[in-house]
Amino acid sequence: MKSKFEEVGLTFPSALWLLVFFLIPTSVIIFYAFKPGDLYGGIQEGWTLDNIKNLFTPHHLVILWRTIWFSLITTAVCLLLALPTGFFLAQTSLKNRRILLLLIVVPFWTSFLIRVFAWKSLLHPEGFLKKTLVFLHFVNDDTLLLYNAGAVLLVMIYTYLPFAILPLFTAAEKFNFNLFEAAMDLGASRSQAFYKVFIPSIKPGILTAFLMVFIPAMGAYVIPDIVGGINNEVLGNKIAQRTFVDRDLPEASSLSLALAMAVLLPMMVIFWLQADSDKKIKKKGF
Amino acid sequence: MSDSLEFDKVIKGFGAVKALDEISFSIKKGEFFSLLGPSGCGKTTLLRLVAGFEKPDSGRILLNGQDITNLPANQRPINTVFQSYALFPHLTLWDNIAFGLRIAKHSKEYIKKEVESMLALIQMEEHAYKKPDYISGGQKQRVAIARALVNRPRVLLLDEPLAALDLKLRQRMLLELDLIHDEVGITFLYVTHDQNEAMAVSDRIAILNRGKLEQIGRPIELYEAPQSSFVAAFIGDTNFLDGWVAEQQIKEYSLLSIEDFPQVICFNDKKLSVGDPVHMSIRPEKIHISREKPAEKPLINSMQGIVEDIIYQGDHTKFGVRVGGHRMTVFQQHSRFLLDESPITWNDKVWLWWHADDGFILERYQVIKENEMGRSFENTLQEQN
Amino acid sequence: MNMKRFSFWVTFAVLVFFYLPILMLVITSFNESRFGGVWRGFSMRWYFQLFSEETLWKALKNSLLIGIGATLVSSVLGTLAALSLHRYRSMLQKAHYGLIYTPLVVPDVLMGISLLLFFVTIHLQLGLFTIFVAHTTFCLSYVTFVILSRLQTLDHAIIEAAEDLGANYWQIFWRIKLPQLFPAILSGALLAFTLSIDDFVITFFVAGPGSTTLPIYIYSLMKFGSTPIINALSTVLIVATFAIVWIVQSITREQK
């Protein structure tokens, strides 16, 4: 009934497409990373480790460090904001839930570029927000709200927050809120119940949310480009610069490899953590 | 009456577990036949083998004499009513019922005629153009039956079709099923774990336990003449007493010695001799209970006991009475509103008596066999107590 | 403080945070003045200027073309992929699953540059076609997962019921599986279309000269162009998005 032939036939179209347009391009990057570049934006014969070595120059290391640092802060703040939000959504009435979810998701449906631009406008030195803050004496006239790390972080958090809210909400929705009452019945206070019962049971959601923010954040390009200015470059910017401005494809490739590694590592850690907690559950015999 | 379905040494295993262990029996044409047994006994597996969703590891299945063991499900002239009804959500009730006919490429006129007569049979004409989401559970069940029957299958398979309905609806639907069966006349193969259901409508019942066939017979045969202690315990309530044959009294009646219990006379159709171990069963409704001592008569067993437990059930009361080292379950039907004697209450000394014909003997070795296979009937007993 | 109260205020703050910039943008687009800081009166002049921009319309046309193309191809491929992932459980499918899952976790930049290098290596000219290929590639994974999740919640008893009633594999596919999957396929297609229209980074890497899409046009305006027009454009897009979402919501609510 279920022949191997049918299976291969069904799998073939999508597998072939991704093989050609995803797997092979990925290998091309690895290939390019070990080739010397020429002045005209192409590659030369032979192999070299120069591109990899160049990754460890202070210039690049600073950028790598900044990329990781920005991503971690963004992820942390997103998780901190998304947890109460997901919690609130999960235990509010169904009607409210639908409206609130819609309200959260709709801005996400508008163009990403436009939202970044909106912030650039908002934080503009001649903009409304700046003038109000100067008026309230929170800032000086010559402080820049734009083109600094704060602006980048702000807009990154703004962009990736929905990615944290949704998985946390999904996990919180599955949570049986009767457990709260059970915990309090056994003597726990409300916040104890929150930390000892709620948080552990939505741990998978937290891990998912972490990945869904951290990985895109590591690959950020547009946000630092538009609101970060020259001093806040991250890996994404560097890769684009090497590709389009410097026309140094091999180095762009090696930077890409660095980015890929930086993304792969936390993913593996998270998967290991998830598998570990699954193992623990199996051991306890649930 | 020829055989409609026949099972010939059917074996089916899932991994290490044998779901069906050499099942052989046959079902007559037009019978309302039930497969009864506890969870995991293999009844659903057997049904799925008949439908064609699984293949047996060995053995054959014959339909009207023809071997259908290797025939794929969609080519068998057999239709199933699923436990979850499995109505197609995106089609109207009309289209659901017409589905099989359309696949079989019948003419438009034929389909129209058949579907409409089915809708009339299940009294759902005015709902024909609704989708399954908009009708109730009982209605869904009727549509599922119609969808299967309209194809005029040789056998209709029903997989616990009433399980999802509440009590009153279940009772009503059971009657309807019976009526439909009478009207349509084809063989019904009905799977259930509810013995009352099975006994109410079946012509014959097969009791399965752990993949093996325990007994086949008409409901009354299974109830009054169980061949194994499993069947005796599974169908209805019963009291089990272990002992051995003390002496042969009148022909066909033996006197049994039971530890910690008075001697009893019992009908001995198993031709056991003195000294043979026995396993005696006496059903609670066959035992009489009263404060007054009954008249001494031959073939009447009578004894005294203390009332330990009383459960009032409305139409009868279930007593737990201690006699010697045993606890006897006794049913007393409330046939009159006010009794002549004052109601029996806890710790009362009462008399129990029953006729020797009402007890039945099962050979004790069957008990040991059950013990070896797993404590299935012991558990059933414990559940009843 | 009460957990509920606290979480309510956080949610409220988050929502304000979300809508503040959008609101500002909409208001500013009607500002007569060039600079957002000073309000010089209500004006529609930026909208008029916007609609006479030829490059805008060309970019929009390109985006729509690519969007429709990528949606169609990724929907077909994604449906096939979901069906095979659901039906079979072999090593092939495990590899297949990995292949489909990975693009979802790869950052845009990596995907963009890898495709660029690939196209350069095989000497394929960058243009609308390369953008279309890139979009189909990342849309494929999303569509697959939307349909796969629907397949997993499908009541499989109805497949058996169809078999029981005499249907063969193809009949089951056309009469039962496909109609049941249709809402999911539509959902996936909508998702793919949205992702394609909105994509910037990957498109930026694989676009050629003359193959501007809407996001690229917006980016160039942002970097080099006139600010007030972007406000007007943004407002138009925001209103359009809200309108579409509202319409879709009313339709789905009506169906219920």
In chain A, residues 31-50 whose CB comes closer than 8 Å to chain C = 32
Average pLDDT over residues C62-88: 93
Does residue B115 fall inside a structural domain? Answer: yes
Q: What is the nearest CA distance from C89 to chain A, expressed in angstroms?
A: 10
- Contact status of A89 with chain C (Cβ, < 8 Å): yes
Tell me, yes or no, whether C30 and C70 share the same domain: no
Question: Distance of alpha carbon B295 from its chain centroid, rounded?
Answer: 37
Q: What is the nearest CA distance from B38 to chain C, expressed in angstroms?
A: 23
Q: State how far the Cα of C247 lies from the Cα of C234, in Å rounded to an integer.
A: 20
Contact C63/C197 with Cβ under 8 angstroms?
yes
| DSSP secondary structure letters along C184-249 | HHHHHHHHHHHHHHH--HHHHHH--TT---HHHHHHHHHHHS-HHHHHHHHHHHHHHHHHHHHHHH
- Contact status of C104 with chain A (Cβ, < 8 Å): no
Tell me, yes or no, whether B193 and B310 share the same domain: no
Q: Which domain holds residue A162?
A: 40-279
Q: Which domain holds residue B311?
A: 235-384
**Pairing state of beta strands B155-159 and B187-192?**
parallel
Q: What is the nearest CA distance from B180 to chain C, expressed in angstroms?
A: 20
Q: Which two tokens stand for residue B300?
A: 């009447």
pLDDT at residue C225 is higher than 70: no
Tell me, yes or no, whether C134 and C12 share the same domain: no
Does residue B48 fall inside a structural domain? Answer: yes
Domain of residue A175, CATH code: 1.10.3720.10
Q: What is the pLDDT of residue C255?
A: 58
Does residue C137 fall inside a structural domain? Answer: yes
Tell me, yes or no, whether B274 and B148 share the same domain: no
Does residue C48 fall inside a structural domain? Answer: no
- Which parts of chain A sit beneath pLDDT 50? 1, 285-286
Tell me, yes or no, whether C115 and C131 share the same domain: yes
Q: What angle do CA A32, A29, C99 make, to 5 degrees?
A: 155
pLDDT at residue C254 is higher than 90: no
How many domains is chain C partitioned into structurally? 2
pLDDT digits (tens, 9 = 90+) for C2-40: 677 888 888 899 999 988 888 888 887 777 666 655 666
Average pLDDT over residues C197-216: 90
Does residue A21 fall inside a structural domain? Answer: no
Domain's final residue, options B224, B245, B267: B224
- Contact status of C107 with chain A (Cβ, < 8 Å): yes
Crossing angle of helices A94-109 and A58-91, in 10° steps, is 150
Cross-chain residue pair C180–B75, CB shorter than 8 Å: no
Distances from the Cα of A107 to the Cαs of A102, A220, B122, in angstroms?
A: 9, 19, 52
- Contact status of C239 with chain A (Cβ, < 8 Å): no
How many domains is chain A partitioned into structurally? 1
Interface test with B, best of C154, C156, C164, C171 (most B CBs within 10 A): C164
Domain's final residue, options B224, B259, B288: B224
Average pLDDT over residues C199-211: 90
Answering whether pTM is above 0.80, one says: no
**Pairing state of beta strands B253-258 and B239-248?**
antiparallel
Q: Which amino acid is at A29?
A: I
Tell me, yes or no, whether B271 and B307 share the same domain: yes
Torsion from C-alpha of A131, A135, A137, A142, nearest 10 degrees: 40
The model's confidence at residue C129, banded by pLDDT at 50, 70 and 90, is: very high
Domain of residue C187, CATH code: 1.10.3720.10
- The complex's ipTM? 0.83
Tell me, yes or no, whether B42 and B144 share the same domain: yes
Q: What is the pLDDT of residue A273?
A: 80
Tell me, yes or no, whether B125 and B252 share the same domain: no
Per-residue pLDDT of chain B (385 residues), as tens digits, is 467 899 999 999 988 888 899 899 999 999 999 999 988 888 999 999 999 999 999 999 999 989 999 999 999 999 999 998 999 999 999 999 999 999 999 999 999 999 999 999 889 999 999 999 999 988 999 999 999 999 999 999 999 998 888 888 888 889 989 998 998 889 999 999 888 899 999 999 999 998 999 999 999 999 988 888 888 888 888 898 888 888 887 778 888 888 888 888 888 877 777 888 888 889 999 999 998 888 888 889 999 999 999 998 888 899 999 998 899 999 988 877 766 567 888 999 999 999 988 888 876 554 444 444 434 444 444 544 4
Does residue B230 fall inside a structural domain? Answer: no
Residues from chain C that touch A28, judged by Cβ atoms under 8 A, are: 114, 117-118, 121
Does residue A6 fall inside a structural domain? Answer: no
How many domains is chain B partitioned into structurally? 2
Q: Which domain holds residue C114?
A: 55-225
Q: Determine which helix (DSSP H) or strand (DSSP E) holds B190, and give its type and residue range.
A: strand B187-192
Does residue C101 fall inside a structural domain? Answer: yes
Tell me, yes or no, whether C11 and C60 share the same domain: no
C83 phi, psi to nearest 5 deg: -60, -45
Look-up of token digits 């006897």: B328
Tell me, yes or no, whether C35 and C151 share the same domain: no
Q: Characterise B252 by phi-psi region: left (phi > 0), alpha (psi -120 to 50), beta (else).
A: left
Does residue B229 fall inside a structural domain? Answer: no
Nearest alpha carbon to residue B162 among B147, B145, B148, B150 = B145
Q: What is the nearest CA distance from B85 to chain C, expressed in angstroms?
A: 8
Does residue A33 fall inside a structural domain? Answer: no
Cross-chain residue pair C92–A194, CB shorter than 8 Å: no
- Contact status of A29 with chain C (Cβ, < 8 Å): yes
C7, C83, C205 member nearest A85 (Cβ): C7
Q: State how far the Cα of B21 lies from the Cα of B35, in Å rounded to an integer.
A: 15
Distances from the Cα of A270 to the Cαs of A209, A256, B268, C96, in angstroms?
A: 11, 22, 72, 22
Q: Determine which helix (DSSP H) or strand (DSSP E) holds B309, and give its type and residue range.
A: strand B300-312
- Contact status of C44 with chain A (Cβ, < 8 Å): no
Q: What is the pLDDT of residue A281?
A: 64
A110, A120, A218 member nearest C238 (Cβ): A110
Q: For residue B6, what are the β-bridge partners?
A: B26, B62
Tell me, yes or no, whether B167 and B127 share the same domain: yes
Q: What is the pLDDT of residue A45?
A: 74
Q: What is the pLDDT of residue A146?
A: 80
Q: State how far the Cα of C177 lies from the Cα of B43, in Å rounded to an integer.
A: 29
Does residue B301 fall inside a structural domain? Answer: yes
A265-271 contacts, C-beta under 8 A, 24 or more apart:
A266/A210, A266/A211, A266/A214, A266/A215, A267/A211, A267/A215, A267/C105, A270/A207, A270/A210, A270/A211
DSSP state of C59: H
Nearest alpha carbon to residue B205 among B175, B227, B183 = B227
Domain of residue B349, CATH code: 2.40.50.100
Tell me, yes or no, whether C85 and C212 share the same domain: yes
